[in-house]
Amino acid sequence: MVCRFYSIDFRTSGEDDFVDVTKEVLECVEQSAIPAGIASVSVRSTTSSIVVCENEAGLKEDIRDALRKIAPSEKEYRHNEAWHDENGRSHVKATLTGQGITLPVTGSRLLMGQWQSIFLLEFDVKPRTRTVDVAVVG
Amino acid sequence: MVCRFYSIDFRTSGEDDFVDVTKEVLECVEQSAIPAGIASVSVRSTTSSIVVCENEAGLKEDIRDALRKIAPSEKEYRHNEAWHDENGRSHVKATLTGQGITLPVTGSRLLMGQWQSIFLLEFDVKPRTRTVDVAVVG
Amino acid sequence: MVCRFYSIDFRTSGEDDFVDVTKEVLECVEQSAIPAGIASVSVRSTTSSIVVCENEAGLKEDIRDALRKIAPSEKEYRHNEAWHDENGRSHVKATLTGQGITLPVTGSRLLMGQWQSIFLLEFDVKPRTRTVDVAVVG
């Protein structure tokens, strides 16, 4: 069994930023030189998330719309009463989209579909630095 | 460490099809003969997803309803302007439900609850062939 | 390769209970004495889920609100016609939030962010005993 860890910091531009981390994750998996196994990609955060989707500008707007419907900006959030950082909606969106994905690794490459990209989604209301962890076991 | 991969193709009937893949996934885990570890089940797609739920016809309709509320058919999707394949809503639903699940394996069996089934959810607007990957490490 | 399994039962108070299972999961990972690998945390259920979020009372209410909007109590659920247990909405919420999370393990500790807690979310309409599985491989 080999296990390799990588942590990569990404700077986001703030609310609703989609950061495509696919290239960096693929490089970690390749560097691991693990021929067969699985890789978990996760973010150490409660106001951002990791999802898989197509990298297409219009789609990003559609996903933002859907999440705004679930957690609208104009709603009063009880979380804001505790911290006054106005990111109640960010927490809700992050919780519903999730903090990680696990994918198969073969030939030191992630098994991904042609249109799949891995995104770090920023929901916080200001720019943040996010640590994405890539763990490859095999 | 042993790692075994299986890829299984499923033909779906198109939008909102629920394909129960539990039996096929369990067979992969059994064939792996890995006594203890974890299994990741994922789909190489951006318009379908993998979820765990009960296999009950009414519930499938309820889940379809909830997802239609998040991403209604009658909405204009910006993604459709890029590709004109009218599946903007399919991408949104797939992104929010996710492309994989990881479960424990013991005695060459998945540790699942009595009512849990693994489903491939098709959201694309036409029938598709989907590749589901099962990776067992242990 | 080492693989260690732990199953922990939690008693929930019923619909919309948030049970913080972080401490118990961290103890499992520590007990495993696995220096480097990944841990999967999952629940054997179709009416509860595992999510990561901040442990803050107001936020829990905000998340409940968002999920009630997706699967309102007052809606008629077709699932209820099959079983008459009035938990159609519980199944929908559980399916959309997911039954597991996988996180990296290093130094026999989960790699988690400062504000991240792991929650078992109960959606069923009555108190339940839930089995949470922790599988550590590395």
Q: pLDDT, tens digit, for every residue of A7-43?
A: 999 999 999 999 999 999 999 999 999 999 999 999 9
C86 sits in the region (left: phi over 0; alpha: psi -120 to 50; else beta) called left
Question: What pLDDT, on a 0 to 100 scale, did the predictor assign at position C124?
Answer: 98
Alpha-carbon distance C116 to nearest alpha carbon in chain A (angstroms): 6
The residue whose two tokens read 């974890």 is: B38
Question: What pLDDT, on a 0 to 100 scale, did the predictor assign at position C83?
Answer: 84
First-last CA distance in chain C: 6
Q: Contact A2/B5, CB-based, under 8 Å? A: no
Q: B42 near B132, Cβ under 8 Å?
A: yes
b (16+ CB within 10 A) / e for C105-137: bbebebbbbeebbbbbbbbbbeebebebbbbbb
Alpha-carbon distance C63 to nearest alpha carbon in chain A (angstroms): 6
Q: pLDDT, tens digit, for every residue of C45-61?
A: 999 999 999 999 999 99
* Spatial separation of the C-alpha atoms in residues C84 and C12, rounded to whole Å: 21
Q: A62 near A134, Cβ under 8 Å?
A: no
Q: Report the pLDDT averaged over residues A96-113.
A: 96
Subunits with 3+ Cβ pairs within 8 Å of C are: A, B
- Which tokens go with C73? 């109590």
Question: What pLDDT, on a 0 to 100 scale, did the predictor assign at position B34?
Answer: 95
* Spatial separation of the C-alpha atoms in residues B5 and B107, rounded to whole Å: 18
Question: What pLDDT, on a 0 to 100 scale, did the predictor assign at position B54?
Answer: 98
Q: pLDDT, tens digit, for every residue of C74-122?
A: 999 999 998 888 999 999 999 999 999 999 999 999 999 999 999 999 9
Question: Among all residues of chain B, which has the CA nearest to that of A39?
Answer: B40
Subunits with 3+ Cβ pairs within 8 Å of A are: B, C
Mean pLDDT of chain A: 97
Chain A interface test: which of B95, B102, B123, B133 (most A C-beta within 10 Å): B95
Radius of gyration for the alpha carbons in chain B, expressed in angstroms and rounded: 16
* Spatial separation of the C-alpha atoms in residues B2 and B25, rounded to whole Å: 18
The pLDDT of residue C1 is above 80: no
Question: Among all residues of chain C, which has the CA nearest to that of A66?
Answer: C70
Q: pTM for the full model? A: 0.97
Chain A interface test: which of C16, C20, C63, C92 (most A C-beta within 10 Å): C63
* Spatial separation of the C-alpha atoms in residues B123 and B94, rounded to whole Å: 7
* Spatial separation of the C-alpha atoms in residues C91 and B18, rounded to whole Å: 15
Q: Report the pLDDT averaged over residues C7-28.
A: 98
* Spatial separation of the C-alpha atoms in residues C71 and C65, rounded to whole Å: 10
Q: Which of A104, A108, A106, A97 has its CA nearest to residue A27?
A: A108
Q: pLDDT, tens digit, for every residue of A113-132?
A: 999 999 999 999 999 999 99
pLDDT band at B85 (very low <50, low <70, confident <90, very high): confident
* Interface confidence (ipTM) of the complex: 0.96
The residue whose two tokens read 């990776």 is: B135
Question: What pLDDT, on a 0 to 100 scale, did the predictor assign at position A85?
Answer: 87
Q: Contact C113/A46, CB-based, under 8 Å? A: yes
Question: Among all residues of chain A, which has the CA nearest to that of C63?
Answer: A92
Q: pLDDT, tens digit, for every residue of B31-78?
A: 999 999 999 999 999 999 999 999 999 999 999 999 999 999 999 999
Alpha-carbon distance A86 to nearest alpha carbon in chain B (angstroms): 23
The pLDDT of residue A83 is above 90: no
Per DSSP, the three-state class of B63 is helix
Which residues of chain A make contact with B129, given a CB cutoff of 8 A? none
Q: What angle do CA B92, B97, B101 make, to 5 degrees?
A: 145
Q: Which of C12, C114, C99, C102 has its CA nearest to residue C56?
A: C114
Which residues of chain A make contact with B80, given a CB cutoff of 8 A? 58
Question: What pLDDT, on a 0 to 100 scale, did the predictor assign at position C39?
Answer: 98
The pLDDT of residue A81 is above 80: yes
Catalogue all structural domains in chain A, each as residue range(s) with its CATH number.
3-137 (2.60.120.460)
Question: Among all residues of chain A, which has the CA nearest to that of C55?
Answer: A46
Q: What angle do CA B7, B17, C64 make, to 5 degrees?
A: 100
Helix, strand, coil percentages (3-state) for chain C, rounded to 5, are: 30, 35, 35
Strands (E), A24-128: 36-43, 48-53, 100-106, 109-110, 117-122
Q: pLDDT, tens digit, for every residue of A42-78?
A: 999 999 999 999 999 999 999 999 999 999 999 999 9
Nearest to B3 among A36, A111, A116 (CB): A36
